Amino acid sequence: MKLRAYLVDDEPLAITRLTRLLGETGRVDVVGSTSDPEEAVEALTALRPDVCFLDIQMPRLTGFEMLARLPARPEIVFVTAHDQYALKAFAANSVDYLLKPVDPRELDRALGKVERLRSRVEVSRPDLEGLFRSLAESWRNSRPDYPERIASRLGDRLWFLDLASVTHFFAGDKLTYAVEKGKSYTVDYTILQLEHVLDPRRFLRIHRGTLVNTAWIKEVTTLPGGGLNLRLKDPAGSDLTVSRDRAREFKTRLLL
């Protein structure tokens, strides 16, 4: 019998790739997925899957905080870009973890562990709720304090933009611009400076003069010569180009 799996990751592209990898194993039925951890709490309670593949660093709720809210938990496989020592402790507590980008061999190993645990008639489970709460607090305190807004100077006034709504930054005419809802606003940072101060899980440098907010990417198309075209999900359906020398890193970071 196939494992019933539910996927939670705030990056839709990561969900798409993991769904494909799980399907290729022939051992898993993906019964649902979401990019919203609060929605996941309701879905996991209703669906009661065998296993949940769960990202950790997500907006609103971390994976640890989400798990602490569940009345009953399936087997948990964390999928993360961060090789934190604390995650390794879960291997002895009926949970596992995978590093992004997910290696099919490591995925096979994790599935094997879940299958072995599910096959036991009775399994002694430690009470993980306190551990999850402790890790949620630790994770929250150890994360870099990335800004949530950026200022644009308009004459003698400052206009503040929520970074979640900024689709991309670009350089032009010796200035740097933030684009929100199709409108460009000047900011007092270079692209290089922005690359170092913004959350690297949200903003990727795709060209010498361009940073993109990955949450706004709708589709990716390969271009002749090795570059990539990004179609954004803003009202204008804007197109951005990933330069050939940055295409490989882009694919790795977005799990393509």
| CA-angle at 197, arms to 230 and 232, nearest 5° | 15
- pTM given for the model: 0.55
Q: Identify the pLDDT of residue 7.
A: 97
Q: Identify the pLDDT of residue 92.
A: 42
Which residues does residue 229 pair with via DSSP β-bridges, in sequence order?
Answer: 221, 241
Q: Identify the pLDDT of residue 123.
A: 46
CB neighbourhood size of 238 (10 A): 17
Q: In order of start, what are the domains of the chain with their CATH numbers?
A: 3-142 (3.40.50.2300), 149-253 (2.40.50.1020)
Which stretches in the chain have pLDDT values below 70? Answer: 59, 82-95, 120-145, 255-256
If we measure between CA atoms, which residue out of 57, 96, 91, 51 comes closest to residue 73? 51
Cα→Cα distances 125→4, 174, 203, Å: 20, 60, 39
Q: Identify the pLDDT of residue 100.
A: 77
Count the residues in the chain: 256
Q: Identify the pLDDT of residue 256.
A: 60
Which residues does residue 166 pair with via DSSP β-bridges, in sequence order?
Answer: 180
Q: Identify the pLDDT of residue 145.
A: 66
- What is the distance between the alpha carbons of residues 251 and 256, in angstroms, rounded to a whole number? 5
Q: Identify the pLDDT of residue 43.
A: 95
